[in-house]
Amino acid sequence: MRFNNIVVLTGAGVSAESGIKTFRDSNGLWENHQIEDVATPEGYQRNPALVHQFYNQRRAQLLDPKLKPNAAHLALARFEQEHIARGGRFLLITQNVDNLHQRAGSDSVIAMHGQLQKVKCPVTGKNQSWLKDLTGADLCHCCKIPQPLRPDIVWFGEMPYQMELCAEALMQADLFISIGTSGQVYPAAGFVQIAAQAGAHTVELNMEATRGDFAEGYYGPAAKVVPTYLKRLD
């Protein structure tokens, strides 16, 4: 086994072939919205109904029976099981808030930007599973004065989840694979440097090359490129 400690970072491109819009490709998610209006705490304060609508639409899409994990999600889940069975270490960090990695069977997943199917109390941060529409009338049960629940999503200006765990894994990695991300959002976009500084081999699997500095890159649709690359690792 050439690599022991493998860290994978995924972005919206890995879910594109499942039918979930990416952020920045044409007709992407941000097309009809300004980031400031729908993915910041200030935007939520200003117009909670707009933000609820933005996330309710995306959450509802996850319940569509036609929406399924694609070959890239499935190959990552299978590889994780086989690699761990061989005594290797594996961590999948996703920027995506859909549930497709989890549905594909990936176990060791950090959803660093939160999850569409969770909501949380704005005061205690306690989260809970939530599959339906969220409105301002949905209140927490953890505070003496119940608070309106918010999407359990990391907005711009908020700290992504489990950053210490991510940093620890990146510094011990001997292979870092970045899949389906434009590398425009930090701190995720800085992961390749942390891994490279720790001596990891770095690989980009994406539709096209990004500004990131990778030792190796294979380009094309994730559902094709990811299974092909992972097979070579076996």
Amino acid at 149: L
Site for ligand BV8 contains 39 (CB under 6 A): yes
DSSP strand E in 46-187: where?
89-94, 109-111, 114-120, 127-129, 150-153, 175-179
Residue 138, Cβ density class (10 Å: 0-12 exposed, 13-18 middle, ≥19 buried): middle
**Selected binder of ligand BV8 within 107, 168, 208, 216 (CB under 6 A):** 208
The answer to whether the CB of 17 falls within 8 A of the CB of 226 is no
Kindly indicate which of the ranges 82-90, 128-136, 192-200, 207-215 contains the residues binding ligand BV8, using the contact rule CB under 6 A: 207-215
* Contact (Cβ atoms closer than 8 angstroms) between residue 127 and residue 152: yes
Among 71, 92, 111, 154, binds ligand BV8 (CB under 6 A): 154
Catalytic residue among 52, 113, 141, 201: 113
Residue 163 CA to residue 161 CA, distance in Å, equals: 6
Contact between 186 and ligand BV8 per CB under 6 A: yes
**Residue 22 vs 102, nearer CB to ligand BV8:** 22
Cβ at position 72, least distance to ligand BV8 in Å: 7
Using CB under 6 A as the binding rule, whether residue 199 contacts ligand BV8 is answered as: no
Tell me if 18 contacts ligand BV8 by CB under 6 A. Answer: no
| Strands 114-120, 150-153: pairing kind | antiparallel
Closest to ligand BV8 by CB, 1 or 219: 219
Give catalytic status of residue 113 as yes or no: yes
Q: Which of 31, 107, 133, 158 binds ligand BV8 (CB under 6 A)?
A: 158
Closest to ligand BV8 by CB, 169 or 205: 205
Instruction: Determine contact, residues 178/229, Cβ cutoff 8 Å.
Output: no
What's the closest the beta carbon of residue 60 comes to ligand BV8, in angstroms? 14
- Residue 20 sits at φ, ψ, to 5 deg, of -95, 125
User: In this structure, what token pair is assigned to residue 153?
Assistant: 């999503």
What Å distances lie between residue 12 and 22, 47, 55, CA to CA?
Answer: 5, 25, 15
What is the nearest approach in angstroms of ligand BV8 to the Cβ of residue 119? 14
Would you count residue 22 as binding ligand BV8 (CB under 6 A)?
yes
The catalytic residue positions are: 113
Sites of contact with ligand BV8 (CB under 6 A): 11-13, 16-17, 22-25, 28, 39, 95-97, 113, 153-160, 180-182, 184-187, 206-208, 210, 221-222
